[in-house]
Structure 1
Amino acid sequence: MDIHVLTDVAPRSPRPARSAAGGAQRMATASTRFSTTAIASLCMAMLWTAPAIGQTAPAASADDAGLVLRTSPRLQETLGSSQRGKMPVFLEGDDLTGQTADMTTVTGNAMLRRADTMIRADRLRYYEPSDTAYADGNVHINRAGSVFDGTELQLQLDSFEGYFKDANYRLLQNNAYGVASQVDFIDRDRSVVHQGTYTTCQRNDEATWTPDWMIRADKISIDTLEEVGVAENAVLEFKGVPILPVPRMSFPLSEKRKSGLLPPTMSLDSDSGFTYSQPYYWNIAPNRDATITPTVMLKRGAALAGEFRYLEPTYKGTLAGLYMPGDKLRDRDRWSWLWQHTSTLNSPIGGLGLNINLKRVSDSDYWHDFQSNGYKLNERLLNSEASVSWSRDDHSLLLRAQKWQTLQDPLSPIVPPYDRMPQLQYRYTPQNLPFGLEASFEADATRFRADDNLLRQPNADRGYMQAEISRPFVAPQGFITPKLMLNSRHYSFDNSLYSTVSNKSLTIPTVSLDSGLVFERNTRLFGRNLIQTLEPRAFYTYTPYRDQSMVPVYDTAPYDFSFATIFSSNSFSGYDRIADNNMLTVGATTRFLDADTGAEAARFGIAQRLRFSDQKVVMPGASPANERWSDIMLGAGINWTPKWGFDTTVQFNPDNGRSVRSTMSARYKPGDYKTLAVAYRFQAQTSEQWDVGWQWPVDQIFSDGGKKAKGEGRWYTVGRLNYSMRDKKLVDSVIGLEYAGCCWSSRVVLQRLQNSLVQANTKLLFQIEFTGLTRLTLGSDPLVSMRDNVPGYQMLPTGKGAAVPSRFSNYD
């Protein structure tokens, strides 16, 4: 029979507990071996007077004749130090000897339990004056879910200070474990592992199993409060091979941010040679941090990059920059900087906003000499702008300044956009107008400037006002919307390089009528209940001709011909051209909707324009549009099941019976981390390309539908190929191989991207990540490359980001 002794019990009412409590006290003070009969008598007395499970114990009174147990508090995830110190100590074992307020010895299946700490051993001694436990022989500790096993233990229970020899340990916080010659417990949150190992790999049932990676160190300090570990005189072993000796390394025990060195990045290319970057992360505050990255390029020199981020309730932003003194290849200093800031404020006069997005680099070669750092500083058009906004009810106001930096390539020059220095815009969109009317008004004043005016157009000040009013009539079976729009513009030119006049004003009205019908019927296709719709639509617009040939183009471009623009009243974006249209657009769409969920299973559409008169307003150098019937737009989308999808748009010329432009795409996604996408794009006399992207498991094990045992590892292939039929060559290609196991992942990517008409950039990217420890990268981050280039790519799971388990999930 097991013996249970309570060395510290809660006080009871003296009268009902007198006889049994007196017997327990006499038993606890005896210095001889305890009698099992006495213990059984005590237990029976307590059970006889205890309330049933789920009942509340009645309050004690003078008439009570039996013991009354105090109700137990709810089990708590964490206990405070003061609360833990008041908890009783439970001792259990086959044989127990000792004396009250002195040493108690338990042998044979010995166990001590106090609060969230449990100790099991072959032999266990508890010294009550110092609240210290001594154990030897198959010693096992469970402290709030973290488990330690060894041969000899000395532990002060309240402060949790002591040592454990020949120990194996497993931490609850991140399920990491290891072995040690000795573990020193500093307190409940800190411990030191001597001559030990550390890994997050999870053991399987094989006797010959060894972790894929581990840290082997002379000393490993573990701080569960700060959630960080520090290894000294350490070496990182992978597959049993030492790969990275480090005198001292810090690693996280969770996803919590901490200051320290981040994994280095190394690369090798023909321009810069060997490159080594060592970032340092500074966790300034919960809402502020900084990253400082010194970099050495053998062929160029040294550079220093930095990033500072801040986050407040009403604003947030990022400051970043790079400086390289005396680039050996370019014989000049190189630099870049950016500032991104967003703020919002509710004030008595309305909502206020401030947005800043400033980007600048040192020279036109920067975009192909330096790799992207996530802020797109390697683009050839760098936009810098700052804006202040105000909004209240139906009114909004925007003041903006915008300036472009154009990075020119002599082999493929581009025309710089015009700067807006500044722009003031006002919008009014009244709500709840009478008679069902809808209206809006917009006024804008912009000063256009260009430092390098390749178009030879004059800089100008432009003001425009645009007002529109409509009355939609909407019913379940259709709609009709008449609309009237008025556009007025005024230009003041700086010189007459383009125009012979210094001022120009235009006022142009537009009327339109949009209408459509909706028919529905129930149908059944391929065993599936569906609702089929038929939605014919007709759109008429009229804009009289106004000569705009003497007006420069500052922010205007022709719309692509598509389903999104074929039902529009203007053929141009921006306000420098208002097309003189007198045309009717007709079209029809039919949809198949799931009868139960309403999800669209398939869609087919057709549309065409009929022009009643020539369009004379065109972009500079273009010919007037004189065809009566436009090309036919054909579109289809099929999403019959969540796994399959198909979309196509075809611009068909009925005169020659050929496609002018076509886009077709199909995707297949049977599950997570499995995707295949194919696209075909054709534009007559310009380009014809095939695009294939995928992420797919490569071994036959994945035929189990993703039920493979955790930790056995999975190999995936991932990539994208973009092939030009016109040039008969690959334009862009990204091909990679990934592995994801329970405690590490790896990816290698070969990337070749076209960065100009005659030049391509080829890189080999490699990365290995040890879950919960570090990530080693060679070249640019392959994850960024795959996210940017592979449609539908999903980052493989590595076990990071899991919630901290409860201590009761590992309860003894």
Structure 2
Amino acid sequence: MPRQRKGKPVFSFTSLALGLLTAAVAAEEGAATWDCRSVNGQWVCSGRPQAPLPSAPQERTAPADTATARAASSSTQPRKLPPLRVGKVGKLPPAPQIAPQQVPEGWTCQADDRGGWRCKLVGVEPAGKPRLAKVQQQPRRPWLRPAFSAADESVFKTLVRLLPEDPWQRYCATGKAALGDRPPTRPEGQPLDLEADFSRSLAEDLVYFSGNVKVKRGDQHLWTDALLYDGKAGIVNAWGNVIYEENGYLFASDNAWLDLEQGRARMNHTHFILGPVPARGTTARSRFESETLSRHHQVAYTTCPIGNDDWVIHARDLKLNRETGKASGHHVWLEFMRVPLLYSPYFSHTIDDRRISGFLTPRIGVSNARGFDFSLPYYFNLAPNYDLTLTPRILSKRGFLGGLEFRYLLRHSQGRLAGEILPYDPVLGKARGQAAFYNRTQLTPHWSAQADLRYVSDKHYLNELGNNLSIASSRQLHSEVKTEYRQGDWYFMTRADNWQTVDPNISSSDKPYRRLPQVVLNYDHGFTPWLRSGWQSEFVFFQHEDRTDGHRLHLRPRVQMPWRHAAAFATPSLAFDYTRYWLPGKGRSLSRALPVASLDTGLFLEKNWGGALIQTLEPRLFYLYIPFDDQRDIPVFDTSRYDFNFSQLFRENRFSGWDRLGDANQISYALTSRFLTADEGAERLRLSAGQIYYFRDRKVTLPGQATETRNTSNIVGELDLFPNRLFSLRSGIQWDPYDNQMDRGEAMLQYKDSDDYIANLSYRFRRDRLKIVDGSFRWLLFQGLHAVGRWQYSLRNAITLESFLGVEAESCCWRVRVIGRRFVRDVNRKTETAVFAQLELKGLISLGKHVDRFLQRNIRGYGFED
């Protein structure tokens, strides 16, 4: 949805520029005349109120080279102003000089027919020689020419020197803004310090300052060559190198006309630097109609550092409305590398955290299955708590695809409704689509309800029409509706769910069972540190189109007596497992009732090796006993065999689900040793090894599997090595002691030297099943250019499963990612090729597919902060 970065809004310098109003002229708005005298080479001025200010002044407009004072109503009291200190101000920085000015000279003032004053420069000015610069019409700029001229860049360099540091230095190095940390000082009540080479009272209510005029009030600073102030009318004219700064926000203008009472202002040829963003730009004319509304003409804006205009966004006209939080413009175009990239006759964007309706960034991709893929989402901000996004999508080989997403946030609920439809797919000759709905409602502090529903029209939809950058390895779409209750030691859940097969290689008979419904009630409570008790209970009705339906009830009360010490622990546990089945057509029910006894013990031993390293030894024993019960008549609804690994040594059941409870009379023994640094406790090396010894055969199996007769399991070993900050190695192995060969193995080696140099290499092996080599990298070729890639190859099948190669080009203010990807879509080895690109303009928008998210999933260690 359209959002703006937090912090100061882009181009939203209305309040800051209007701070100029109080900073430059709050000297004494009610003063009628000035009394100035020279003291030690400085002018010291004081004002005497002559007439009250009007309570409701009429609309006034003044040309840039004149100022008009109005007659005041005698009933209005003068405003109370902060103290004015005129003279040398030691802490004021020197007035910056942008460009030499040639000055017409002299002032004359005459009373007009409405009781005001009209002043014009007609001769030689006796002190100070500022002038009102005239705005020149900008010629049309040809393509491939810089957006900012050499004169513009010179102004930016002058402005940035007024900041405590160049905001782009830290931003380009770290991606974080350098300014904005100073707490703002409110100008109200602060004394106003003013310094000038010359001042003159031109008329009863008109005061003129010239020559290195400097004004300071709190965090607000103003520099100008000349300033004309009408105290009664509240009008200020400043001209000649006008510069305003507040908390890292800088504005420079040829001239400025300010109406203090109406909160209006006009500026010409404005250059600005927004330090906390950081960003910079120019406007030909700016008109501030109120404290919340401003209009700007011929705007150019970028977040690139000074001297670099790789990307610039232009607008012929721009309106900023801080009341609505909206920026809108006409004839807006984006140029990248001095070439126009995007154009829109109308532009709308948020300038704060509020959401507004408008187009989101387009997405572009190419693949051999879909052809050219272009989508342009449009966001509708329907209300503060719900919105709608419509996404028209053009696929050159498939036609038009429409998508929508509706989101809502209520007091106790939040949710999302999304869908896509392809009215006619010319390849398959039919309509296709997908839909999703999610809702979560907090009924009470302890009760919640959730619905998560998903549907696709056919098994091939996600592979052919889904986003290829996020194709999941999921082979089933899961939908469920459930309620939950959580309070203290209690947990209750009821659920109904369904599975839709989206992998074309899975038959309908292998589809998971539906649970219509599933009811769970669990309780767990620690009575004392040495006594813990509770139970697990579940009731489910399983339903399937091609397999046996049935009901299952499972109950498992448990009691534990944990004991822990700094150097040892022991946890004896006793449970009773009861499961009952009701199967249609069987004429009777089936049941299983078995005790489960276990004892988990371990030691923590530690040795210091000369002060630099600490080694630990952590032996662990786990005994498990479950008697045998013939379970061959019990159907398998949701149960499978756990993948054997190091953690499996300490499980009470070798099966997932409750359709099988494995018989056991066994003991697991394992040893873990760690090497830690003595000063930081950082783990440098961890070694673990373990095995299960079986005192009897394991007769309980899944259908089609034989009784396990070996008296030992595979030997499981793990090694994690972190020799320094650059390298890391993680590996695991399972050794078959009967065949004296490796049954499984895995190793992952990583080199990472910051985000610029990342290399990963891994190998996975399962005997008679797979041998896969996987490598990925992100490597800095030279400054600003990285190569990225991945290659996943099956040694067993002699085929590349997936590969991609691309580049990331990056500067301080933009990043481009382009990758080409080729991957195997199905077991028939059908492949697909796609090309994706993403252009990220830092501080503004990101165009194209989410290539960054794809790289994060596929290159271990890759990642950037948002």
Q: Is 1:444–2:538 an aligned residue pair? A: yes
Matched, 1:763 2:834: yes
**1:403 aligns to 2:498 (yes or no):** yes
Alpha-carbon distance in 1 for matches of 2:803, 2:414: 37
The 1:299/1:41 distance shift into structure 2, 3 A limit, reads: closer
Distance 2:686 2:218 in 1: 64
| 2:609 is equivalent to residue 523 of structure 1 | yes
Q: Does 1:514 align with 2:514?
A: no
Question: 1:649-688 CA distances to partner (integer Å, 9 max, x unpaired)?
Answer: 1100123321000111122333245433222111000001
Distance (Å, rounded) in 2 between the aligned partners of 1:346 and 1:357: 20
**Does the CA contact (< 8 Å) of 1:5 and 1:92 recur in 2?**
no
2:843 equivalent to 1:772: yes
Pick one of 357, 364, 380 that aligns with 1:282: 380
Distance in 1 between residues matched to 2:248 and 2:563, nearest whole Å: 66
AA aligned to 1:747 is: R
1:320 aligns with 2:403: no
The structural deviation recorded for 1:10 is: 11
Contact conserved, 1:734 with 1:789, CA < 8 A, in 2?
A: no
The letter for the 2-side match of 1:183 is S
Give 1:753's match in structure 2, choosing from 823, 833, 840.
823
The answer (yes or no) to whether the contact 1:252–1:773 under 8 Å persists in 2 is no
Match of 2:155? none
Instruction: State the Cα distance separating 1:378 from its structure 2 match.
Output: 8.8
> Which 10-residue stretch deviates more, 263-272 or 626-635?
263-272
Matched residue, 2:154: none
What SS does structure 1 have at the residue aligned with 2:660? coil
* SS across alignment from 1:289: strand
Q: Structure 1 residue 731: deviation in Å?
A: 1.0
Q: Find out whether 1:494 has 2:609 as its counterpart.
A: no
Residue aligning to 1:64: none
Q: Quick one: distance in 2 between partners of 1:442 and 1:644?
A: 44
Cα shift at 1:156: 1.6
CA contact (8 A) 1:653 1:659 kept: yes
Confirm whether residue 782 of structure 1 aligns to residue 851 of structure 2.
yes
Q: Aligned ranges for residues 327-406 of structure 1 at < 5 Å?
A: 327-346=425-444, 351-372=446-467, 379-406=474-501
Query: Is contact 2:365–2:834 with CA below 8 Å preserved after alignment?
Result: no
Q: Give the conservation status (yes or no) of the 8 Å contact 1:459–1:495.
A: no
Residue 73 of structure 2 is matched in structure 1 by: none
Q: Deviations over 1:335-360 (max 9, x none)?
A: 3221222333545xxx1121221111
Is 1:421 the equivalent of 2:516? yes
2:264 corresponding residue in structure 1: 161
Instruction: Tell me what 2:184 maps to.
Output: 77
Counterpart position of 1:616: 699
Partner of 1:431: 526
Q: Distance in 2 between matches of 1:582 and 1:425?
A: 29
Which residue does 1:132 correspond to in 2?
Answer: 235
Residues in 2 aligned to 1:121 and 1:183: alpha-carbon distance in whole angstroms: 18
1:215 matches 2:215: no
1:210 Cα shift? 4.3
Instruction: Compute the displacement of 1:143 (Å).
Output: 6.1
- Is 2:227–2:237's contact at 8 Å kept on the other side of the alignment? yes
User: Is this contact kept in 1: 2:613–2:678, CA < 8 A?
Assistant: yes
Structure 2 CA distance for partners of 1:617 and 1:147, relative to 1, 3 Å: same
Which range moved further: 164-173 or 538-547?
164-173
Correspondence for 2:255? 152
Q: What are the equivalent positions in structure 2 for 1:455-474 lying under 5 Å apart? A: 457-474=547-564
Q: What does residue 407 of structure 2 align with? A: 309
Letter in 2 for 1:775: S
Tell me if the contact between 1:542 and 1:580 (Cα under 8 Å) persists in the aligned partners: yes
Q: Does 1:271 align with 2:369?
A: yes
Distance 1:423 1:184, change over 3 A: same
Contact 2:37 2:43 in 1 (8 A): no
Aligned to 1:586: 669
Question: Structure 2 matches for 1:626-775, cutoff 5 A?
Answer: 626-699=709-782, 701=783, 714-757=784-827, 758-775=829-846
List per-residue Cα deviations over 1:186-209 (Å, max 9, x = no partner). 333443332342222120xxxxx3
Query: What's the CA shift string for 1:147-166, capped at 9, x where partnerless?
Result: 33232332223444232223
Separation in structure 2 between the aligned mates of residue 586 and residue 39 of structure 1, nearest angstrom: 91
What is the rounded CA distance, in whole Å, between the counterparts of 1:386 and 1:101 in structure 2?
80
Instruction: State the AA in 1 paired with 2:767.
Output: A
Which amino acid is 1:486 matched to? Answer: F
Instruction: Classify the secondary structure of the residue corresponding to 1:429.
Output: strand
Counterparts of 1:9 and 1:163 in 2: how far apart (Å)?
21
Amino acid at match of 1:421: L
Q: 1:643: Cα distance to partner? A: 3.5
1:535–1:590 contact (8 Å) kept in structure 2: yes
After TM superposition, the structure 1 stretch with the greater mean CA deviation from structure 2, 734-743 or 166-175, is 166-175
Given that residues 93 and 107 in structure 1 are in contact (C-alpha distance below 8 angstroms), is that contact kept between their aligned partners in structure 2?
Answer: yes
Deviation at residue 37 of structure 1 after TM alignment: 6.3
CA distance in structure 2 between the partners assigned to 1:508 and 1:214 by the alignment: 73
Shift of residue 421, structure 1, vs aligned partner: 0.4
RMSD of aligned Cα (Å)? 3.3
Distance apart, 1:242 and its partner CA: 1.9
**Cα offset, 1:118, TM superposition:** 4.6
Residue identity in the other structure for 1:667: Q
The reply on whether 1:504 has 2:590 as its aligned counterpart is yes
> How far is the alpha carbon of 1:446 from its aligned partner?
0.3
Distance 1:478 1:116, change over 3 A: closer
Q: Percent identity?
A: 29
Q: Secondary structure at the match of 1:698?
A: strand
Contact 2:84 2:194 (8 Å CA) reproduced: no
Secondary structure, in 3 states, of the residue corresponding to 1:389? strand
Deviation at 1:694, TM superposition (A): 2.3
Letter in 2 for 1:503: S
Distance 1:770 1:473, change over 3 A: closer
Q: How does 1:79-118 map to 2 (within 5 A)?
A: 91-99=194-202, 102-112=205-215, 118=221
Q: 1:21 matched to which residue of 2? A: none
> Number of matched residues?
712
Question: Aligned letter for 2:810?
Answer: A
| Distance in 1, Cα, partners of 2:699 & 2:490 | 36
State whether residues 173 and 254 of structure 1, in contact with CA within 8 Å, keep that contact through their aligned partners in structure 2.
no
Q: Please identify, of 249-258 and 279-288, the stretch whose mean Cα deviation from structure 2 is larger.
A: 249-258
Corresponding residue for residue 791 of structure 1: 860
Q: Once structures 1 and 2 are overlaid, which stretch shifts more, 783-792 or 635-644?
A: 635-644
1:218-245 residue CA offsets vs partner (Å, 9 max, x unmatched): 2233445655543322332211222223
State the SS of the aligned residue for 2:510. Answer: coil
Task: State whether residues 775 and 790 of structure 2, in contact with CA within 8 Å, keep that contact through their aligned partners in structure 1.
Answer: yes
Structure 2: gaps of 5 or more residues: 1-22, 47-81, 86-181
SS in 1 for 2:650: coil
Alpha-carbon shift at residue 100 of structure 1 (Å): 6.8
Query: Where does structure 1 lack aligned partners over 5 or more consecutive residues?
Result: 12-24, 44-67, 204-208, 702-713, 802-812
3-state secondary structure, aligned to 1:458: coil
Structure 2: which amino acid aligns with 1:760? Answer: T
Aligned to 1:807: none
Partner AA of 1:771 in structure 2: K
Separation (CA, whole Å) in 1 of partners of 2:628 and 2:469:
47
Which TM-score applies when normalising by structure 1? 0.81
Cα distance in 1 between the residues matched to 2:727 and 2:509: 40
Counterpart in 2 of 1:705?
Answer: none
Q: CA offsets, 1:687-726, max 9 Å, x none?
A: 0111222233221x5xxxxxxxxxxxx2222232212111
Deviation at 1:282, TM superposition (A): 2.6
1:563 lines up with 2:563 in the alignment? no
**Paired residue secondary structure (1:417):** coil
What is the TM-score of this pair, normalised by structure 2?
0.76
CA distance in 2: counterparts of 1:363 and 1:669, whole angstroms: 42
| Cα distance in structure 2, aligned partners of 1:603 and 1:566 | 18
Tell me which residue corresponds to 2:78.
none
